[in-house]
Structure 1
Amino acid sequence: MQSELEQFRAMVRSVVSTEIEPHIDAWEAEGIFPAHELFPKLAAHGLLGLGFGPEDGGEGAPLEYQMVFSEELGRGNAAGVTMAINVQMHMATPSLAQFGTPALKAKYLAPAIRGEHVAAIAVTEPDAGSDVAGITTKAERDGDDWVISGAKTFITNATQADWFCMLVRTSDEGGYRGMSQIIVPADTPGFEVVRKLDKVGNRSSDTAELRLDGARVPVSNTIGEIGRGFQQQMSQFVIERLSACFSIAGSAEWALAKTRDYLKLREVFGEPLERRQYPVFKLTELSADVELLKALNEKMCRMLNNGEDITREATVGKLHAGRTYRNVADAAMQFHGGIGYMEESWTARYYRDARLSSIGGGADEVMLQVLARMDGYTV
């Protein structure tokens, strides 16, 4: 399979270098990329359907192919676009693929795999971020419809999305109980994108606030079992963390290679930086961190392919990946010196984009809490 993977990697690298890299500066400046133009181009190569079965219109490829795709996306210094693609493939659609009815998958999943629909995941609320149990957006049943009211925020792909995989309360049970995942089409009356948010980094990815005021959608839009939404979302979060580990490994490896090349060129006190012990040792240490992340990624692929639970591994990976990403970004800027602090340098965008890795998709502190509880602590 290794030779086939390398052929696949070469194909993905060609697609990224053709369809993303030439446009990323303009997309960053505009604060958005044209998802409805890019996604069909990715789908034409089978990329958006890698992790989905042929019965749903996907490729049914081993997980290693998703890993390679994410790594190559990470190599282009286009974190915003990478995040949007990960939302489409690994955050908004896994629950639908696993728990959705055939009719629901035909209506929403298949067009997403073909790149015709842009999908988004809507969990976070103004007063409930990492504390998913604290969400208050409510869906009340009225005959064959849900009537939904509430607010969501920090929603990636929101201004372009055709539909949202939304976690809402469907009963008065508190805490983790009584939630459901519901597909909410963007053109639903009573639903609106309130405003696009202005972020520090990942600027080519559109992020927005949502409001629902009596938005009515069919009960048949419920993904899986009513009242099991929290549990389904937790499983979806695991895949989200996995995708972050994949893309960060590729991104960090790329940034370290570029920084090593710069050390050969930049002279300080009469000799290249590559002859100075500290920067060399620092980059070597960071390379070891990336190598450990890649080894964990390969382990998670093997485990998932064997049907094993990777909750712990994905949580450890997300924590390690976020810190590694930030450390690589900091070192790259430091060793580039003054030019690294200029917007004309690749390090400026990379530094801004990297900071989200320890906040989005589950903050470092949440990863530590999950791991502590798995170790028997009661924090």
Structure 2
Amino acid sequence: MDFTLPEEIESFRLIVREFIENEVEPVAHLIEEQNEIPPGIVQKAKDMGLFGLSIPEEYGGLGLNMVGKCAIFEELGKTHNGFTTFIGTHNGIGTVGIVELGNEEQKQRYLPNMATGKWMGAFALTEPSAGSNAANLKTTAVRKGDRYILNGSKHYITNAQDAHVFTVMAVTDPSKGPKGITSFIVEKDFPGFVIGKTEKKMGLRGSHSNELFFEDLEVPVENRLGAEGEGYVNALKILANGRAGLAARNLGSCQYLLDKSVQYALEREQFGKPIIEQQAVLHMLADMAMEIEVLRSMTYRVAWMTDQNLNVIKEAAMVKLYGSEAYNRIADKAVQVHGGIGYIAEYPIERFYRDARITRIYEGTSEIQRNIIGAQLIKEYRKKHRPAGV
């Protein structure tokens, strides 16, 4: 496995790094205070092509492979996580369903505008009764002629306030359980689409999550994504595809926290010397650095496997699990290294500490990732020890 980036990707990564350091970081405190990403920053991100990372070049995107996307996501992770989530969700679960599962007509209709950021993407699976148990959907889709009529609700939908295109999961045949779920491409302007309240969250300021309500929502048949009954499998594919990217964003945040912690430990003096010379502090920094290197290796290995079209169900769950848990541990150590100032809202460490917590919940909780890993271990064992001729 060779994770050396092509020259054009490495050059683009440096451009993104400069954008993060010179444009986004200086307004991170404003995003936190106002719960909004400045329009000028969003426009610059569009101009750079950051909304088209996952979209093939023939539809106006950059068409990066997973390793390339992870390199960019790692840079994006080094700034305000609300901005990172805004961009990452669009490029991940917001667009990948159409890219990977859409027919040519759907791709031609939606991807060019999504590549430029004119249309934002979102993913609508979670419901009050269907969080970790994603198969327990209550939203229904009944076909009537050339349309499906959707009724139900979704909640905690990232980018809902800003998105134009939603990948929505609904039940078309309640008698079939998970095999009765179908996925649809829904535009916010379709009759019967209602955006509910914006949730007040612990972190990820600037990244908005909303309720959605479908009241006899009319969706053309041509907007069905795949065949009837494939929605649950589609949802799992979309979520699994994005896990390396989410790990890369976590990796960038972890690296940011380590860099800030090393800088502070070199500058802060106690007992007549920099605190980095205190073994307890040095060991925390060493542990942070070790976890980052493990996460980096896992992230790019899973990204490479994805690009080789290998089965990454287990590995993707592992990197999502490890990445989110490591981010939380590293954020906790960063607060400890900084002491009192790490707990003060004016300094970014406190913000990263709060933002880290959601990573163990969204796009599949840590517990669900362990279930996936365990199920794959059982499957692999049974395959390996299957009696001859069976």
**TM-score range relative to shorter protein:** over 0.9
More off after superposition, 2-11 vs 335-344: 2-11
Cα shift at 1:39: 4.7
Matched, 1:20 2:38: no
User: Could you tell me whether the CA contact under 8 Å between 1:177 and 1:227 is conserved in 2?
Assistant: yes
Matched, 1:41 2:44: yes
SS across alignment from 1:332: helix
Cα shift at 1:9: 1.6
> Match for residue 212 of structure 1?
214
> Match for residue 335 of structure 1?
337
> Match for residue 262 of structure 1?
264
> Match for residue 152 of structure 2?
150
Cα shift at 1:118: 1.1
Tell me how far apart the structure 2 counterparts of residues 373 and 117 of structure 1 sit (CA, whole Å). Answer: 37
The residue type paired with residue 7 of structure 1 is S
More off after superposition, 270-279 vs 314-323: 270-279
| Distance of aligned partners of 1:296 and 1:22 in 2 relative to their CA distance in 1, 3 Å threshold | same
SS across alignment from 2:229: coil
Tell me how far apart the structure 1 counterparts of residues 245 and 35 of structure 2 sit (CA, whole Å). Answer: 23
The residue type paired with residue 257 of structure 1 is D
| Distance of aligned partners of 1:276 and 1:8 in 2 relative to their CA distance in 1, 3 Å threshold | same
The residue type paired with residue 198 of structure 1 is K
SS across alignment from 2:177: coil
Tell me how far apart the structure 2 counterparts of residues 323 and 212 of structure 1 sit (CA, whole Å). Answer: 35
Tell me how far apart the structure 2 counterparts of residues 187 and 57 of structure 1 sit (CA, whole Å). Answer: 23
User: Could you tell me whether the CA contact under 8 Å between 2:66 and 2:307 is conserved in 1?
Assistant: yes
TM-score by length of 2: 0.92
RMSD, matched Cα: 1.8
Tell me how far apart the structure 1 counterparts of residues 205 and 248 of structure 2 sit (CA, whole Å). Answer: 21
Matched, 1:173 2:164: no
Structure 1: runs of 5+ lacking an equivalent: none
Cα shift at 1:268: 2.5
| Distance of aligned partners of 1:291 and 1:224 in 2 relative to their CA distance in 1, 3 Å threshold | same
SS across alignment from 2:156: strand
SS across alignment from 2:153: strand
Structure 2: runs of 5+ lacking an equivalent: 380-390
SS across alignment from 1:173: helix
Give aligned pairs, total: 376
More off after superposition, 200-209 vs 265-274: 265-274
User: Could you tell me whether the CA contact under 8 Å between 2:298 and 2:319 is conserved in 1?
Assistant: yes
Equivalent of 2:370, from 351, 368, 371? Answer: 368
Equivalent of 1:162, from 143, 150, 164? Answer: 164
User: Could you tell me whether the CA contact under 8 Å between 1:121 and 1:155 is conserved in 2?
Assistant: yes
TM-score by length of 1: 0.94
User: Could you tell me whether the CA contact under 8 Å between 1:202 and 1:353 is conserved in 2?
Assistant: yes
User: Could you tell me whether the CA contact under 8 Å between 1:39 and 1:116 is conserved in 2?
Assistant: no
Tell me how far apart the structure 2 counterparts of residues 295 and 29 of structure 1 sit (CA, whole Å). Answer: 35
More off after superposition, 41-50 vs 111-120: 41-50
Equivalent of 1:75, from 78, 93, 96? Answer: 78
CA deviation profile, 1:227-250 (whole Å, cap 9, x unmatched): 101111111111221111111111
Tell me how far apart the structure 2 counterparts of residues 95 and 288 of structure 1 sit (CA, whole Å). Answer: 34
Cα shift at 1:189: 2.2
User: Could you tell me whether the CA contact under 8 Å between 1:29 and 1:204 is conserved in 2?
Assistant: no
Matched, 1:66 2:69: yes
> Match for residue 30 of structure 1?
34
> Match for residue 60 of structure 2?
57
SS across alignment from 2:195: strand
Tell me how far apart the structure 2 counterparts of residues 208 and 51 of structure 1 sit (CA, whole Å). Answer: 24
User: Could you tell me whether the CA contact under 8 Å between 1:40 and 1:116 is conserved in 2?
Assistant: no
User: Could you tell me whether the CA contact under 8 Å between 1:140 and 1:146 is conserved in 2?
Assistant: yes
Equivalent of 2:357, from 337, 355, 358? Answer: 355
Cα shift at 1:306: 1.6
Tell me how far apart the structure 1 counterparts of residues 168 and 279 of structure 2 sit (CA, whole Å). Answer: 51
